[in-house]
Chain A
Amino acid sequence: MKKLLLGNEAVARGLYEHGCRVVSSYPGTPSTEITEFAATYDDLYAEWAPNEKVAVETAVGASFGGARSFAAMKHVGLNVAADPVFTASYTGVNAGLIIAVADDPGMHSSQNEQDSRNYAIASKIPMLEPSDSTECRDFVGVAYEISEKFDTPVFLRLTTRIAHSQSLVELGERTDNGVKPFEKNPRKYVMTPANAIPKHTIVENRTSAIREWAENCGINTVEDNGTSVGVIASGTCYEYAKEALAEKASYLKLGMVNPLPIKLIADFCAKYEKVYVIEELDPVIENHCKTNGFKVIGKEIFPLCGEINSSMIKEKILGEKTELGASFADLPVRPPVMCSGCPHRGMFYVLKKLGVFVNGDIGCYTLGGAAPLNAIDTTVCMGFSVSGLHGFLKANGESKKSIAVIGDSTFIHSGITGLINMAYNRSSGTVIVLDNSITGMTGHQQNPSTGVTLKGDMTTSVDLEALCKAVGINRVRVVDPQEIDEVEKIVKEELEADEPSVIIARRPCVMIKKAVINPPYRIDPDKCKKCKMCMKIGCPSLSVDPETGKVSVDKTLCVGCGLCKKLCKFDAICKG
């Protein structure tokens, strides 16, 4: 049966069909749905780990334990997981191990545009790159074969357009080889220098062997259309090239982007007058070609930044321009915003009012940096808010006007280590944990503080107050971020304190079941004095009528949180 599957869903299908048994991941757009779909199969154990490092270590452990295993993450998650990844390359596997990494060219939902293929080269781990959902499913099988044949973890690289595109897949059955026994073998599994030194040689020889295998592996394929132009591409760029050039070019489609074959590419380059390498982000394939003396055209005409598309390929290679539709200039932009009733809004209103320096973090609350709240001063990576605050205060003599904000899931991911540093090294900073009881931005995943597993089972939950106290924070306070007067009072008090403190702002995300949804508010036009105090919170449910200058409430969006009502001095915002 052919079914339309999202690339991520197809990877999960591949895990099911190819006998994967253990999945551990941390959510991150565009990789999240792989693990969510994997969890729908009863034959697979799947979990959310607290961060990507833990996820990869779990998957490595499961591989040692004899089960085909898997971990997924977004590109920046691989930075967090890099430590076990590089040494797992040395140990190799017992049962097959796949690490999926989803890059985000164009930065649809990311803080940088790093190219994970560089990690494959650096860690000497083979990397496959599918170009549609069928390949997403099939390459999982190929990756497990390579993993077990060559004793190595294998990367599966996706990009946003593959992960979040649907195409047709012919579904297959599950094959499960069971669990292999673990045999004690310190020279393989215990990476002390004495054991790792010979292992490094084995890894280099392994790369050579896989490179040789790549010459005839069946996933690096040539399509000769008798043309003078040749194109080398992988993943979504291959699809763009096919769309743009169809039979006007011949193709070398690379299903494996590390290690790259030499003879296959040499023969391809020799056959065509002009050979183009079409790849998003870094010139990885191009550099390989040029290092080996093959004449190709790549980043001379294609960009290093952002996505490539078929119009660009048509224009650069064929000199053809697509006729554009009508366009209207100077339209107002529509940036993403915090939802109506978002529990973060009240906190950012207060922080802006107090004029404090705010170290932000990664999550929905990054939107607190957008107009009109403009209440975030830095955003770098998961956990940065806490350790960044610590450094900022050390530089600025423990200035009292600086604060960190971090979500519950991000705090557990990597904020807690920064907090330990603050306690240990005697900071006096204040960390606000925005506890909305869910991992929000990636689409509402459970995490260790929610008391529910990925599979939906009840479990223990992290006691954030006790955790903060246990690491040496004496001042831990809990507040409802909706109660802005109370929030203001507490923030002021904690900023004054001579020791580190944590404020837990606790209120569930408005998009989850736990949230309280009230009937929408309305504006009494007789009482509205057009002062626009309520407009300061940047709620998408509120707008000013251009004719009357008075505020109105969009009743389809308003969830009755009442934050605007707290700001109205004229009692113009009323129920029903």
Chain B
Amino acid sequence: MKTTNIMIVGVGGQGTLLASRLLGHILPGMGYDVKISEVHGMSQRGGSVVTFVRYGEKVSSPIIEKGEADYIIAFEQLEATRWLSYLKKGGKLITSSQKIDPMPVITGACAYPEALPEKIKDAGIDILCTDVLSLAEQAGSSKAVNVVLLGVFAKMTGLDPVLFNEAIDVLVKEKFRSLNKTAFELGYSVK
């Protein structure tokens, strides 16, 4: 069986690690070999962050390389664009429409590129761009964008939502569980 490659990209502090850990919790239970690779440390301070999730019969490398990702789940437009070269031909991009200015934009050294989702679409890439932030706020916290995006991803890939609910029970502190479950459902209902 072929290995499936998922990349989760965003801005340090957006909660990409929880998204990969929830996936990492359910995939072994489905009988897959799984490897997940994260980068900790300095990049977590508001830098560009990426997590690789690979699953299949037997996974060797923990890293996804350029042109190999089946899915990119992006928490932010510019980051979605930055990592696009990792998407394989025919791969799918799921991105939040949220924009977060990086420091060179904040300092005025350059401008935030305009109309990125449209440009990506024009390049012939299969993109689903949604206002994930509003859905997260609707669920109760802007910090829940990670779980909303997982809901969107689960719907797209046919992964069982019940498994994600169970994973939330195990990995998320009790007081945030119902918020995260709502966030997942809101993502799962995105068409």
Contact = CB atoms under 8 A, between A and B. Distances in A.
Q: State whether these chains interact.
A: yes
Interface of A: 2-4, 6, 29-30, 32-33, 108-109, 132, 160-161, 164-168, 236, 239-240, 242-243, 309-311, 322-328, 331-339, 364, 367, 370-372, 441-443, 532, 535, 538-540, 542-544, 546, 554, 556
A539 B46 CA distance: 11
Most B CB contacts (10 A, CB to CB) among A165, A243, A325, A538 go to: A325
A243 B44 CA distance: 28
A2 B28 contact: yes
B84 interface: yes
B45 A364 contact: yes
23 contacts: A2-B28, A29-B42, A30-B41, A161-B62, A165-B35, A165-B37, A166-B62, A167-B34, A239-B61, A243-B61, A310-B65, A325-B84, A325-B89, A326-B120, A334-B11, A334-B102, A339-B13, A370-B103, A371-B103, A443-B40, A543-B101, A544-B106, A556-B142
Contacts of B131: none
A160 B102 contact: no
Contact of B39 (A6, A160, A311, A442): A160
Contacts of B123: 326
Interface of B: 11-13, 24-25, 28, 33-48, 59-63, 65-69, 78-79, 81-82, 84-89, 91, 100-113, 116, 119-120, 123-125, 142-143
Contacts of B82: 328, 331, 334
Given A4-B24, A364-B45, A29 B40 contact: yes
A518 B144 CA distance: 21
Given A29-B40, A371-B109, A326 B125 contact: yes
A540 B11 CA distance: 11
A239 B60 CA distance: 5
Contact of A168 (B34, B104, B106, B120): B34
Given A332-B113, A336-B12, A442-B41, A324 B85 contact: yes
The secondary structure that dominates the A interface is loop
Contacts of A337: 45-47, 103
Nearest to A370: B103
B39 A164 contact: yes
A337 B45 CA distance: 6
Contacts of A108: 39, 41-43
A309 B65 contact: yes
Contacts of A335: 47, 102-103
A6 B35 CA distance: 9
Contacts of B103: 334-335, 337, 370-372, 538, 540
B66 A242 contact: no
Contacts of B46: 334, 336-337, 339, 540
B61 A546 contact: no
Nearest to B39: A108
A542 B142 contact: no
B45 A333 contact: no
B44 A323 contact: no
A328 B124 CA distance: 13
A333 B107 CA distance: 12
A379 B133 CA distance: 38
A327 B84 contact: yes
A166 B36 contact: yes
